[in-house]
């Protein structure tokens, strides 16, 4: 499980690569990055209340079904005010889904493995494959037994916790230039299609104009592409 910092970076990269947003990031875009990209980890809260933060972690909230449900609710509730339900739902699904993907690739710093019940409720077993080579960082990305005993949040604010935040940020930062590259290619492709579309031959625009000349003696002019024909 990556830290919240890694999920913020991952959410930003996913939205940059997967949406057609233009201009400076708006408030909704920033909320998606910070809140929705970390939303699955709210399953920590029930465990925190009973003194075992990891008891319910990586449960149903870390599933594709949860991503679809949250995206649907966001689209229904916020769509009318933020550019349409389909647009809001898509952005929300991408931000939420970025969390799931990172959790399947990066192990839990508390000593767990990489994996989530992505196919819940169809399949309760965890799905995930750690990024090759991350094993060499296990010792650096794991809280010590004493730090875990001192409490979940105290452990995250310890020296080891800060080190884990920094390492996770370094691990996912390369996603940002990759997302920028994908976005740049999409923008260029869109511009090429627009240019090629503007070069297509236009259909002649014709207009019939009747010039009064008495009953039965009127003249009709048919103009096409700037040239007039007398009929």
Q: Same structural domain for residues 67 and 126?
A: yes
At residue 198, does pLDDT exceed 80?
Answer: no
DSSP states of 102-154? HHHHS--TTS--S-B-TTTTT--S-B--PPTTGGGGTTTTS--HHHHHT-HHH
Could you list the residue range(s) of the whole structural domain that residue 214 is in?
201-230
pLDDT band at 226 (very low <50, low <70, confident <90, very high): very low
Q: Are 3 and 164 in contact (CB under 8 A)?
A: yes
Could you report the per-residue pLDDT of 97-151, keeping only the tens digit for each? 999 999 998 876 555 567 899 999 998 888 887 776 665 565 555 654 444 445 5
Could you report the per-residue pLDDT of 28-81, keeping only the tens digit for each? 778 888 899 999 999 888 887 887 777 788 889 999 999 999 999 999 998 888
Q: Are 96 and 118 in contact (CB under 8 A)?
A: no
Q: Same structural domain for residues 113 and 85?
A: yes
Instruction: Give pTM, 2 decimals.
Output: 0.74
Q: Are 21 and 15 in contact (CB under 8 A)?
A: yes
Q: Same structural domain for residues 66 and 92?
A: yes
Q: Same structural domain for residues 182 and 216?
A: no
Q: Same structural domain for residues 141 and 216?
A: no
């Amino acid at each position: 499980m990556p830290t919240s910092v890694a999920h913020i970076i991952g959410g930003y990269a996913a939205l940059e690569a997967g949406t057609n947003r233009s201009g400076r990031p708006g408030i909704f875009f920033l909320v998606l990055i910070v809140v929705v990209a970390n939303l699955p980890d709210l399953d920590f809260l029930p465990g925190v209340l009973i003194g075992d933060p990891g008891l319910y972690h990586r449960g149903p909230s870390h599933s594709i079904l949860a991503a679809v449900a949250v995206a649907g609710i966001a689209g229904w509730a916020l769509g009318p005010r933020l550019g349409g339900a389909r647009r809001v739902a898509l952005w929300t699904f991408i931000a939420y889904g970025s969390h799931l993907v990172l959790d399947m690739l990066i192990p839990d710093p508390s000593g767990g493995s990489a994996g989530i019940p992505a196919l819940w409720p169809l399949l309760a077993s965890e799905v995930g494959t750690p990024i090759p080579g991350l094993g060499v960082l296990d010792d650096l990305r794991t809280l010590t037994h004493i730090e875990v005993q001192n409490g979940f949040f105290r452990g995250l604010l310890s020296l080891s916790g800060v080190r884990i935040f920094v390492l996770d940020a370094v691990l996912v930062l390369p996603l940002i230039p990759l997302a920028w590259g994908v976005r740049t290619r999409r923008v260029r492709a869109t511009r090429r299609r627009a240019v090629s579309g503007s070069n297509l031959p236009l259909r002649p625009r014709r207009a019939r104009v009747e010039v009064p000349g008495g009953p039965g003696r009127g003249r009709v002019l048919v103009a096409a592409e700037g040239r007039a024909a007398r009929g």
